[in-house]
């Protein structure tokens, strides 16, 4: 799709939806917005957007419709409720759900949409309100190639990265894998804070160090460069690099576990990391991990 007279609809003008929709105010085909709160809609109307009282009214005016609501139930209501999009959508319309919902919900809704000649993509976002305000979200799209092509340009207005993850449901599965890392990392960060606090350290300063160094090294994402999780052959380019990472990691994890043992601070994440780091990197456990498991 090129920038033409296709009007874009946007449903849900909350903390993330509003800054996303603002990026579409100058979309050549125009923007129509809908939200339960009149005051949220009025701000957009004042800047040239059209308003709609219901999702059905959005569908009467737009053929690419983004949805940013809270959960599966709200998404279903917006799409297939009494005043939902499907009650008025034109064949060929593309419905894009940016909310993080169940991948099974996405597949079921796609089937329902297809029965009406409407395309569906699950297009969850990563980057939060900050990324939305900066127009630098990452969007993971699950859907057909044709649907992806229709949404790619409008999505590019509020995203710095738009990835076609695969079929419907794939976008959601990619988002869940991404957030698994996110929240596991939060739990590991809490464990590190407990160790630091028990050692008499200022954990606020520790946080500053972590954010500073992760901004340079890339944090956990720094190792996510291979296209497979299979074991790395010894003659592979990555083998020496990942073996080096394993050595550093096992050494530091073992040292941290030693501090935790002395201070009587349980470090279950660190124990799991020491056992699984080498295999996770694809190069197998190193000497330190083998000694710990012996």
The per-residue pLDDT for range 183-195, each reduced to its tens digit, is 999 999 999 999 9
Residue 112: Cβ within 10 Å count: 15
Q: What is the pTM of this model?
A: 0.89
Query: Token digits for 169?
Result: 């449901």
Contact 278, 289 (CB under 8 A): yes
Q: Among the options 133, 175, 251, 275, which is catalytic?
A: 175
CATH number reported for the structural domain that contains residue 284 in this entry: 1.10.1040.10
Max intra-chain CA distance, the chain:
69
164 and 233, same domain (yes or no) = no
- Structural domain that includes position 144: 8-173
57 and 118, same domain (yes or no) = yes
If DSSP states are collapsed to H, E and C, what string results for 87-134? HCCCCCCEEEECCCCCHHHHHHHHHHHHCCCCEEEECCEECHHHHHHH
Answer yes or no: 175 catalytic: yes
34 burial (CB, 10 Å; 0-12 / 13-18 / 19+) is buried
pLDDT band at 1 (very low <50, low <70, confident <90, very high): very low
- For residue 189, is it within any domain? no
- For residue 200, is it within any domain? no
207 burial (CB, 10 Å; 0-12 / 13-18 / 19+) is middle
Q: What is the pLDDT of residues 135-154, one digit of tens each?
A: 999 999 999 999 999 999 99
CATH number reported for the structural domain that contains residue 45 in this entry: 3.40.50.720
Q: According to the model, what pLDDT value does residue 4 have? A: 60
């Amino acid at each position: 799709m090129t920038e033409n007279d296709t009007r874009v609809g946007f449903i849900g003008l909350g903390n993330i939806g509003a800054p996303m929709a603002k990026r579409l105010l100058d979309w050549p085909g125009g923007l129509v917005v809908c939200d339960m709160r009149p005051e949220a809609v009025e701000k957009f109307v004042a800047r040239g957007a059209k308003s709609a009282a219901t999702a059905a009214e959005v569908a009467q005016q737009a053929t690419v419709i983004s949805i940013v609501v809270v959960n599966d139930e709200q998404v279903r209501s917006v799409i297939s409720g009494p005043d939902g999009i499907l009650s008025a959508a034109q064949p060929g319309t593309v419905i894009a759900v940016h909310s993080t919902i169940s991948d099974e919900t996405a597949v079921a809704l796609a089937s329902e949409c297809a029965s009406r000649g409407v395309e569906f993509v699950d297009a969850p976002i990563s980057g939060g309100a900050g990324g939305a305000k900066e127009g630098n979200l990452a969007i993971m799209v699950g859907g057909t190639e044709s649907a992806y092509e229709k949404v790619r340009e409008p999505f590019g207005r509020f995203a710095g990265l738009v990835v076609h993850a695969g079929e419907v449901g794939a976008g959601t599965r990619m988002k869940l894998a991404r957030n698994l890392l996110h929240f596991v990392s939060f739990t590991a960060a809490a464990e590190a804070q407990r160790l630091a606090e028990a050692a008499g350290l200022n954990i606020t300063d520790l946080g500053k160090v972590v954010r500073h160094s992760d901004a340079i090294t890339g944090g956990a994402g720094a190792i996510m460069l291979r296209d497979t999780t299979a074991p790395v052959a010894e003659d592979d380019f990555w083998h020496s690099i990942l073996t080096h990472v394993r050595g550093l990691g096992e050494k530091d994890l073992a040292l941290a576990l030693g501090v935790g043992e002395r201070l009587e601070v349980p470090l279950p994440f660190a124990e799991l990391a020491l056992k699984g780091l080498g295999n996770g990197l694809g190069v197998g456990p190193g000497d330190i991990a083998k000694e710990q498991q012996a």
